[in-house]
Amino acid sequence: MTPAIEVTDATVRYGDVLALDGVSLTVPRGRVCGLLGTNGSGKSTLFKTVLGLVRTDRGRVHVLGRTSAAARRAGLIGYVPQSEQVDWAFPVRVHDVVMMGRYGRMGPRRRPRPDDRRAVEAALERTGLAELAERRIGALSGGQRKRAFVARALAQEADVLLLDEPFAGVDRRSEETIVDLLRSLPAEDTTLLVSTHDLAQVPRLCDDALLLQRRVLAHGTPAHVLRPEVLMEAFGVRTAPEAA
């Protein structure tokens, strides 16, 4: 079967900065792959590579057997960006943010149909945000904002979800909600690529893990990747850090 995500030998530069160096990654359908690495190790760049938002010097990317552009056009990829990349002053309600997940399915006038409303209500419900639907996104806590973006990705009903640090700046309760929710998705045949600094969540959340440091340092089961000698090489510490 065609993998959900297939990156082959990707090299990405920003001017003089080599951000990814010959990175290959395969995520089979219905699996959860954790993306680990220190700040600046290339995690966000790898997401943008899968999305086709950065130019690769070398390498190929396929999402469900299609090019990134074709997969995005078909609405197959849902993306929760890192918080730093979102303008929180933008005056939209939580409900509107989640509805954006449906835009790809709507006509140019973006008039929601009953299916769209149902998908948005269900996503708000699953992320525990139904009561906050009318609030402005900027008025929410970090954890609630993250959940709103996860809800947007859920409403999209995409086959492949890319989540860039969904637990950063998030309270414990939101983190637990998000982990439980994400863990329930692969049963529905959704494939996930999730970056995180929270190594303690990895065995619970992920089927596989990939440790990145511009190139792939380790790739395999969480137990294989979270070995002390491997973490030592990437993080320079013997025990799992709280935040890298």
Ligand X SMILES: Nc1ncnc2c1ncn2[C@@H]1O[C@H](COP(=O)(O)OP(=O)(O)O)[C@@H](O)[C@H]1O
Where does this chain bind Mg ion (CB under 5 A)? 43-44, 82
Nearer to ligand X, 95 or 197 (CB): 197
Residues of span 62-121 touching ligand X by CB under 6 A: none
| Residue with smaller CB distance to ligand X, 19 or 124 | 19
Smaller CB separation from ligand X, 45 or 156: 45
**Hey, what's the torsion of the CAs at 227, 232, 235, 240, to 10 degrees?**
50
Residue 42 is a binding residue for ligand X (CB under 6 A): yes
Query: In the complex with ligand X, which residue's Cβ is closer, 43 or 95?
Result: 43
Strand locations in 46-186 (E) = 58-63, 77-80, 160-164
Query: What is the smallest separation between the CB atom of 195 and Mg ion, expressed in angstroms?
Result: 7
Binding ligand X (rule: CB under 6 A), the pick from 4, 41, 145, 147 is 41
Looking only at the bridges linking them, the beta strands covering 191-195 and 160-164 are: parallel
128-159 burial: b if 16+ Cβ within 10 Å, else e:
bbeebbeebbeebeebbbbbbbbbbbbbbbbb
Choosing among Mg ion, ligand X, none, which partner's interface includes residue 26 (Cβ < 5 to 8 Å by kind)? none
**Of these partners, Mg ion, ligand X, none, which one is at the site of residue 197 (CB under 5 to 8 Å by kind)?**
none
Local structure of 201: helix, strand or coil: helix
Q: Which does 85 bind (CB under 5 to 8 A by kind): Mg ion, ligand X, none?
A: none
Sign of CA dihedral 149, 53, 59, 38: negative
Instruction: Choose the one of ligand X, Mg ion, none that binds residue 132, judging by a C-beta under 5 to 8 angstroms depending on kind.
Output: none
Interface with ligand X includes 166 (CB under 6 A)? no
Question: What does the DSSP assignment read for 85-118?
Answer: GS-TTS--BHHHHHHHTTGGGS-TT-PPPHHHHH
* Token pair of 21 as six digits: 């160096």
Convert 9-43 to b/e letters by CB count within 10 Å (16 or more is b). Answer: ebbbbeeeeebbbebebbbebbbbbbbbbbeebbb
Toward ligand X, which CB reaches closer, 23 or 99? 23
The interface region with ligand X, picked from 33-41, 99-107, 122-130, 131-139 by CB under 6 A, is: 33-41
Q: Is the Cβ–Cβ distance between 75 and 158 less than 8 Å?
A: yes
Shortest Cβ 82–Mg ion spacing (Å): 5
Pick the stretch among 43-51, 93-101, 108-116, 122-130 that binds ligand X (CB under 6 A): 43-51
Q: Which residues bind ligand X (CB under 6 A)?
A: 14, 17, 19, 37, 39-45
